[in-house]
Structure 1
């Protein structure tokens, strides 16, 4: 197992990935043979109807859901070779995740929320780096505020700061503007694309917004658990 993708390898690889779940109504096939590769520094938009498997695909890429079959590799690391602790370390070191729901810890300040991944990694400068990340998303003055004291847009910016604080190579975003008004959502989008431009962060974005998807280098459409042609 290697620790990072080499220059001639894509950063993200999915090979014949499937996911099936068994429920009271029987077996449900959610992903049906996904083949996908994403280059380092690329921006990829994933579109498709509700229930097509887009968000599940992102969960698979984050190592938050195990596939039924197929191969997944991110940054040169094959998910099949990693236990849950290994996947957690991969997320900590290489993957940032921004969800539609903010998933902030309500009893922690903005600064404390952003510092969590760095503290878990044992970084002595966790709060200094977290403060810098909050400044990057325009919230330097809100470090001591709790999520309940902040607007939805501010909470999403805190979530974005937390996702990028460790300078991940891959940023996954699942409808990150879905709970925000138009102007606030556009601001979040600009921040994510700026990260791609300045830091070379690979961005994979699930969205229902065709205009947003069109800003990506490439777009794929997921329908009925498959990537369409």
Structure 2
């Protein structure tokens, strides 16, 4: 697909555990187009998070090909993958992954600094303002609620204006009100930045906001559902 920003062909994933080799993904082929919002859903253990990690080059496919923005992630070194993610991807995890010894401002500015942005702290302040945390810029993660920490994580992921935003259960550790606020920010900011959004979720209402929903079962694509035009 010519306008695909993510393209997976016949991807498998096998991991060695205590009981031997475990087959996680079985022959996944999937294209994600520019600006699309794609939801990955399915029961626990169906391979959703593993597939997302492969899309981000955080896990290597056992076989098959993974292309992102025309680059073959399967042939890249770990250093090249890290640089590619820095320049083109934002990742939001369920467990925030903020650096505890850094303030909210420093957490958001870090990827910008690594990318050599001379306005790193100015842009970080702008992003914190967009997620409603301008007044919390100098607070450390331990001084913030879960909802505030996830908003910092979202600001950090979107500050470099990534082409691709990957989110793994972004509302999983939040209550209903905070989760709803994060969802609105996630979709609003990704649309504003023109990012392609792929998210893993167990929440039907969150999946329903995506342009397309891919249902996984036992490491395979069980079905694909296009959202009805509004």
> Structure 2 CA distance, aligned partners of 1:196 and 1:101?
20
> Structure 1 CA distance, aligned partners of 2:159 and 2:89?
11
TM-score by length of 1: 0.95
> Structure 1 CA distance, aligned partners of 2:182 and 2:200?
14
Describe how 1:30-45 pairs up with structure 2 within 5 A: 30-45=24-39
1:74 alignment partner in structure 2? 68
Aligned length: 223
Deviation at 1:21, TM superposition (A): 1.2
Deviation at 1:8, TM superposition (A): 3.2
Aligned: 1:126 with 2:114: no
Describe how 1:1-229 pairs up with structure 2 within 5 A: 8-229=2-223
1:144-189 CA deviation, whole Å, 9 max, x = no partner? 0000000000000000000001000111111100111101110100
8 Å contact from structure 2 (residues 57, 81) kept in 1 = yes
Deviation at 1:218, TM superposition (A): 0.4
Matched position secondary structure for 2:149: helix
> Structure 1 CA distance, aligned partners of 2:192 and 2:97?
26
1:4 alignment partner in structure 2? none
8 Å contact from structure 1 (residues 13, 74) kept in 2 = yes
> Structure 2 CA distance, aligned partners of 1:54 and 1:11?
19
8 Å contact from structure 2 (residues 36, 196) kept in 1 = yes
1:36-79 CA deviation, whole Å, 9 max, x = no partner? 10000000011000011101111111111111001001111111
Query: Gaps spanning 5+ residues in structure 2: where?
Result: 224-230
RMSD, matched Cα: 1.1
Query: Gaps spanning 5+ residues in structure 1: where?
Result: 1-6
